[in-house]
Structure 1
Amino acid sequence: MARGVWPRSRVGRGDDLPGRELAGAGFAGGGFAGGGLALLLAPGLAPLAPAAEAGPAPALVALRPAVAPRTGAGPALKRAVDLVGAALGLLVLLPLLLAIAVLIKWDSPGPVLFRQSRVGLGNRPFQVWKFRTMTCCENGAVVRQARRDDPRVTRIGRILRRTSLDELPQLVNVLLGSMSLVGPRPHAVAHDAQFSAIVPRYAERHAMRPGITGWAQVRGCRGETPNAAAMQRRVDLDLAYIAHWSILLDLVILALTLREVFRSQAAY
């Protein structure tokens, strides 16, 4: 995609975005404003109801992302933010991480951490780190998503999942380079295989490093994805993020993540 040139934005079945075009929004390969600001102001990307409670997929802006490797200083700056943020996060949160580890061991038998196979940048597999929140550690051809009042979730696990504290070990993934602080959330390999066959453009989410948090998560898409329509919402938002990415947008998403953690009821 040429610098500064946007594909036509589409809403729903192909109607133009009400009131304006996002074409020519000024994105220049990952600056501080540009496309990220356009995405924040886009009227077609209002907050969504939790996916598990919603009906048919609403009309969303679904822009075709630039899947070619980013050029310029943007990717290097994003990586620098990741390294500094992850290192500081692990240092500051170390007492909390240790306390969580003790509580998990006290609450139920099993390991404190578990690793699960995910697909990352360029469809490359990696092992994601999480605090164990269940009595099982599924990582095979079939991985059942957690449901409301899921009996597999431990007492401490319910708190960790609702507050997303179970994701904190992924700061190590960020340091290792397999993840970013912000990006499309990685799904289990079994779910990738399931949804890539039925959700259009699903695989294009892998054009960017997966993130601990993302645009879809701060727009209400947390928790279970019980059907293709629920996953399509996430994919649309993930692709919009990839197309509009900027450092400013990443910083805004990080700030919105704190608000979402404390108010969302979709994670369980």
Structure 2
Amino acid sequence: MIRFLDILFSFIGLVLGFPILMVVYFLGLLDTGSPLFLQERVGRHKRPFTLVKFRTMALNTESVASHLASTASITRMGGFLRRSKLDELPQLWNVLKGEMSLVGPRPNLFSQHDLIAERDSRGVYAVRPGITGVAQISHIDMSTPQLLAETDAQMISSMSLVLYFKLLVQTVLGKGRGDRVKN
């Protein structure tokens, strides 16, 4: 049922959000010249997939986890996109393709070895990664691998349609801050 809802909501989101996607894309061209950010991430069963987001950092920023990146690398438009969470909209394409779910553990980088080990030991990679989840709503990011993996595993074990909708509503209403970056 959740996969059906993922397909339905991501399709509706892409269709209804198309004008917003186009405006952000063209503003991104003016901001950095390259509005889309593509990055290989760890997916379900630890298979790689290419995550699609709107670019929020300067082009020359090192490809590291957000909590390791400097705030100085975030562009002015990127700051707005992160606060409004509009940078996440292109991930609806990842959801539609079946690489992600709307709700699930945030996909990490292959270079985050501690997090991979923690998640692997708790079976987190048995599910599709998500755009939002309990960790995001609770301000838990990838800088605390053990806590994040424990939170992800608990969310997975208690996942229900009620929790799915609750997390979606909380995300749409602005709960959670997104990925933290260092100063």
Q: Which runs of 5+ in 1 are unaligned?
A: 1-76
Q: Which structure has more RCO (C-alpha within 8 Å, separation ≥ 6)?
A: 1
**Which residue is 1:195 aligned to?**
115
Matched, 1:158 2:158: no
Give the deviation of 1:201 after TM superposition.
4.8
Q: How do 1:120-199 and structure 2 match up within 5 A?
A: 120-136=43-59, 143-146=64-67, 150-191=71-112, 193-197=113-117, 199=118
Q: Which runs of 5+ in 2 are unaligned?
A: none
Percent identical across equivalent pairs?
Answer: 36
Give the deviation of 1:244 after TM superposition.
1.0
Q: TM-score, normalised by structure 2?
A: 0.87
**Which residue is 1:114 aligned to?**
37
Q: Which has the higher helix share?
A: 2
Q: TM-score, normalised by structure 1?
A: 0.61
1:33-55: per-residue Cα shift (whole Å, max 9, x none)? xxxxxxxxxxxxxxxxxxxxxxx
Give the distance between the partners of 2:173 and 2:32, measured in 1 at CA.
30
Give the deviation of 1:247 after TM superposition.
1.5
Matched, 1:103 2:49: no
Give the deviation of 1:232 after TM superposition.
1.9
The one-letter code sitting in structure 2 at the alignment partner of 1:100 is V
Give the distance between the partners of 2:155 and 2:169, measured in 1 at CA.
16
Give the deviation of 1:137 after TM superposition.
6.5
Give the deviation of 1:204 after TM superposition.
2.1
Q: How many residues align?
A: 181
Matched, 1:233 2:147: yes
Give the distance between the partners of 1:137 and 1:204, measured in 2 at CA.
35
Give the distance between the partners of 1:265 and 1:195, measured in 2 at CA.
18
C-alpha distance 122-214 of structure 1, shift in aligned 2 (>3 A):
same
SS in 2 for 1:188: coil
The one-letter code sitting in structure 1 at the alignment partner of 2:73 is R
Q: Does structure 2 retain, via aligned residues, the 8 Å contact 1:195–1:202?
A: no
**Which residue is 1:7 aligned to?**
none
Give the distance between the partners of 1:239 and 1:255, measured in 2 at CA.
21
The one-letter code sitting in structure 2 at the alignment partner of 1:180 is S
Matched, 1:83 2:4: no
Q: Which runs of at least 4 in structure 1 moved beyond 3 Å after TM superposition?
A: 146-149, 199-203, 263-268
Give the deviation of 1:256 after TM superposition.
1.1
Q: How do 1:183-262 and structure 2 match up within 5 A?
A: 183-191=104-112, 193-197=113-117, 199=118, 201=120, 204-222=123-141, 225-226=142-143, 230-261=144-175
